[in-house]
Copies of this chain bind each other. A is one copy, B any other.
C-alpha cells in the first residue's frame, strides 16, 4: 500500500477531530507498523495524529494466539440470564427464516411494534421543536431530568385528574422499559419481587440483572427468589392472592401484556389491600390503558388507598406510535414511603438525576402535542385502528374453534394450544404461514401452551395473516 493511499485512508479516520485548513505530511514506519501523520492546522500549529495500523493476520499454519483476558469477573447476575432478551431472540429466528425463504411475505405479529404512521399533528410539533433548536429564543440545552414542567402537568391532568396526582409526581422518561430498570436500580438488590406469570420479560430480566434473584431452575423454568403469580384462564388471569407469598415489590400489568386480560376494580381493590396488608409496593404497568374498552380502572390510582402502596408506569409508545421516538412516564405519589418513612419519589428523583439526563426535548414536544384535544383524538384513532386489528385476529381464532383470551382490552390475543410446546407452535406457524408470533413460554412458565398474537400491523397484513391462519388450522 502506498504511503499516499494510506494517508488518504487514515486522514479520513479521526477526521471528526481535525479542524479546517489542514495540511498532511505522512510517514510510514515498517518497523513499528505505525503510520504517522503530521498535520498542520491553521490555528493550532502541528497536530500529530497517529493511527496504529492493526497487525497483519498470522499465517494460516501458525497457532492462534491466546486471547488476552482482563482480571475482571463477569457479573454473576448477567451469567444467570438464560438466553438473550426475548424479542431479539424472536428477531433472530425471523431473520433465519427470511434467509431460508427470501421470497416469503413474512408477517410480523410477534413483538408489539407499532406500524402505522404517527398523526401529522404530532410529528409537526416535533419538527417545529427541532427547527426551534436552531434559534436563539427557541434553543434549550439540558432539561430537568424529571421532564419539562408543562408536559408533567399535562400528563397529570390528562390521565390522573381528580385522583390527587400532581405535576411533580410525574417523571417523564424515554419509555416504560427504561423506567423498569431505573426502578430496579432504586429498589436495589435486597428486595424480593413478585410477577404475574406470564409477564412482560423486562420485569424478571431486570430483577435478575439487579441481583434480586437466585439461579434459574430449569425443571420449573423459574428464577429462584421470584414469586411467580400464576395467571390462567381458570383464575380469570388474576392471581389467587391467598397463595401468594409476601414480597417487597409486586409487578402488575393491566391491561396485560401478554394475556390481554384486564383486572377489574374489585380485583385491583383486593390487590391494593393485599399490598397494604403486606407493606408491599405495587409497580403498576398501565402502558395499554387506552386500549381498555371494558369498565375497568385505567390507573391503579382509581383504587382508594393505592397512593400509599403503588407507583405506576406508562408510555406513549402504543398510543402514538412512539416506539422509536421514545417517551413515557412514571408516577410516584408523595404518599409512597419506604419502611423508614423516606419518600420513594425522592430516591427516584435522585436516580433520574444520576442515571438519566431527561427524555429528548423533541420527543417531549411530541408528547405535549399528543395531550392536546386534537392529539388525544389522533391517539384514539391510532388505538382504534389497532383495536380493529385485534378484533380480526380474535374472530379468526374463535372461528377456528380455539380458546381465545385477551383482545378486548389490549392489542394482544392469547391463544390456547393445550398440551403443546409454545416454541413448537411458534415454529410451526412461522414455517407454514410465514407469520411471526410470540411463544407464550417466553413470558414465563405460565405462558406454556399459549401463543401471543400481537395486533400491531398494517390492515392488509392482518387480513392476510387471518387468511393464512384459517388455511393452517382449518
Extra 4 A-B pairs, beta carbons < 8 Å, given A10-B162, A140-B324:
A14-B299, A72-B187, A85-B354, A181-B356
Find the residue from A17, A202, A275, A377 having the highest chain B CB count within 10 A.
A17
Q: Say whether B324 contacts A143, CB under 8 Å.
A: yes
Q: Say whether B341 contacts A162, CB under 8 Å.
A: no
Q: Say whether A141 contacts B115, CB under 8 Å.
A: yes
Interface residues of A, count at CB 8 A: 151
Q: Please measure, in the bound complex, the distance between the C-alpha atom of A54 and the C-alpha atom of B9, giving whole angstroms.
A: 68
In the complex where A78-B347, A206-B354, A376-B15 touch, is A188 in contact with B161 (Cβ < 8 A)?
no
Q: Say whether A141 contacts B113, CB under 8 Å.
A: yes
In the complex where A131-B124, A360-B362 touch, is A353 in contact with B186 (Cβ < 8 A)?
no
Chain B, residue nearest A325 (CB): B360
Q: Say whether B339 contacts A72, CB under 8 Å.
A: yes
Residues of B close to A187: CB separation below 8 A: 72, 75
Q: Is A357 close to B, CB under 8 A?
A: yes
Q: Is A473 close to B, CB under 8 A?
A: no
Other-chain residue from B117, B128, B134, B249 in contact with A134 (beta carbon distance below 8 A)? B117
Residues of B close to A75: CB separation below 8 A: 186-188, 190-191, 347
Chain B, residue nearest A362 (CB): B362
Q: Is A425 close to B, CB under 8 A?
A: no
A sample of 22 inter-chain contacts (CB < 8 A) reads A13-B163, A20-B377, A43-B293, A46-B295, A50-B302, A67-B335, A67-B341, A68-B337, A72-B187, A72-B191, A73-B338, A73-B339, A74-B339, A74-B347, A75-B190, A75-B191, A78-B347, A111-B142, A124-B130, A133-B324, A181-B354, A189-B189
Q: Is A31 close to B, CB under 8 A?
A: no
Q: Say whether A340 contacts B134, CB under 8 Å.
A: no
Q: Is A326 close to B, CB under 8 A?
A: yes
Other-chain residue from B68, B321, B376 in contact with A133 (beta carbon distance below 8 A)? B321
In the complex where A190-B76, A361-B324 touch, is A16 in contact with B158 (Cβ < 8 A)?
yes
Other-chain residue from B52, B159, B161, B357 in contact with A326 (beta carbon distance below 8 A)? B357
Interface residues of A in 109-167 (CB under 8 A from B): 111, 113-120, 122-124, 126-128, 130-131, 133-136, 138-143, 145, 157-164
Residues of B close to A117: CB separation below 8 A: 133-136, 138-139
